[in-house]
Amino acid sequence: MDPEKLIISGRNRLQGTVKIDGAKNSALSIMAATLLTKDVCILRNVPRLTDVDTMAAVIRKLGIKVEWRGENTLYIDSDDFNNYEAPYELVKMMRGSILVMGPLLARLKKAKISLPGGCAIGARPVDFHLKGFEALGAQVEVEKGYIEAKVDKLKGDDIYLDFPSLGATENIMMAACLAESITTIENAAKDPEVVELGHFLNKMGAKVEGLGTDLIRIEGVKELHGIDYTIIPDRIEAGTYMIAAAITGGDVLIEKADPLLLKPLIVKLEEAGVRIELEKSLIKS
């Protein structure tokens, strides 16, 4: 069978209006972070994508109540659950499922997660996550394609990441929020999604500092509370439309985009001669 293809007939000028959805990568980590509280969390502007549905299925499997209320609003209730295992049939569909491991260790003191790639030999993409959990006091074993971790009590520590991994930074940061004492993550990822997750955690009552820098400091707290939160616009989606409009000589109005998240792209497009107008929450390119 031939691989799937996209056939694009060029030389057409793009014009019109497009509305940007919520950021998928932010939604996934924030959905995992809702496991850190017994309270209800309401997430708005959540994109209706396959990965989001997969993450919803993962946390439902753990015993979490997840409901769509309206087109883009998720209602998540993590009050009472005791299942700590995320099975292979779900995790294999999306590597981001590993993000539930930090919250599970923080809430239930144990986690069993399928390796996203199964029984991989050699270095694994999740090794940075596991080293971080071990630094916080967890005992971690990898056997038969599963990661099993348990801990009596998470305790803060100084953690250096050999690579500024987005997922490892987020996973360790979530676990550290309910750990004793202070955790520092050096060479942390600085992506907007990490900053957004930190803002979400802080609004839940966490104490996270240094967001947007390569040194993040987390002071553990006893508990977090639920909140009503709106996911940021997807910078990748917005940037794709901006570039498409630019290369076709188009005129596109992009609604619900955040210029601050798109500043590097805006600067480069303007240097290339593209005219961009900013109108409050709109970007016209």
SS3 197: helix
Alpha-carbon distance of 121 to 116, in angstroms, equals 13
Q: Of 32, 40, 43, give the one whose Cα is nearest residue 68.
A: 43
Which residues lie closer than 8 Å to 205 by C-beta, 6 or more apart? 221, 223, 224, 225
Give the containing element (helix H, strand E) for 236: helix 235-247
| Residue 155, token pair as written in the block | 């305790």
| Residue 76, token pair as written in the block | 């998540």
Which residues lie closer than 8 Å to 69 by C-beta, 6 or more apart? 42, 75
| Residue 259, token pair as written in the block | 């210029």
Q: Of 265, 225, 229, give the one whose Cα is nearest residue 29.
A: 229
Active site residues: 119
Alpha-carbon distance of 129 to 116, in angstroms, equals 13
What's the Cα-to-Cα distance from 127 to each of 133, 156, 274, rounded to whole Å?
10, 19, 42
User: 206, 218 in Cβ contact below 8 A?
Assistant: yes
| Residue 43, token pair as written in the block | 């997430």
